[in-house]
Amino acid sequence: GNSVTQMEGPVTLSEEAFLTINCTYTATGYPSLFWYVQYPGEGLQLLLKATKADDKGSNKGFEATYRKETTSFHLEKGSVQVSDSAVYFCALRGSSASKIIFGSGTRLSIRP
């Protein structure tokens, strides 16, 4: 079945550092891929998405590229801010499915 594996946290960085959170997936066909974010005390919200191979999703300075050859969708940001501290979830929807499955989440903390 479909699955999502993302790097374990917590990840702690200094402000303005470069961020990468790794995400790899297993799926048949052509899934849609997502990053969701959960800020402290808030509900999950969609950060970015990509629906086909080589698509790049981007939002709020974050980017992720759908790489079918490596089955990956790594999240990157060039210069993180304290306000980026949150839990980040990689997620997948199979090409013929309604349900969306999530990775285990990565907690990110940014030091001033």
Partner 1 sequence: DVKVTQSSRYLVKRTGEKVFLECVQDMDHENMFWYRQDPGLGLRLIYFSYDVKMKEKGDIPEGYSVSREKKERFSLILESASTNQTSMYLCASRPGQGATNEKLFFGSGTQLSVL
Q: For residues 75 and 105, which CB has a smaller minimum distance to partner 1 in the complex? A: 105
Using the rule CB under 8 A, which residue among 49, 64, 84, 108 binds partner 1? Answer: 49
Using the rule CB under 8 A, which residue among 29, 40, 98, 112 binds partner 1? Answer: 98
Minimal CA–CA distance to 39: which of 75, 77, 84, 80?
Answer: 84
- Per-residue contact string for residues 57-96; x = within reach of partner 1 by CB under 8 A: --------------------------------x---x---
Residues 6+ apart with CB under 8 A from 41: none
Q: For residues 67 and 107, which CB has a smaller minimum distance to partner 1 in the complex? A: 107
CA torsion sign, 29 to 37 to 86 to 14? positive
CA torsion sign, 78 to 88 to 31 to 69? positive
* 28 touches partner 1 by CB under 8 A: no
Provide the CB-side half-sphere exposure for 98 (13 A, CA).
0
Chain position carrying tokens 């950060």:
47
Q: For residues 17 and 100, which CB has a smaller minimum distance to partner 1 in the complex? A: 100
Q: Which residues bind partner 1 (CB under 8 A)?
A: 32, 34, 36, 42-46, 49, 51, 89, 93, 98-105
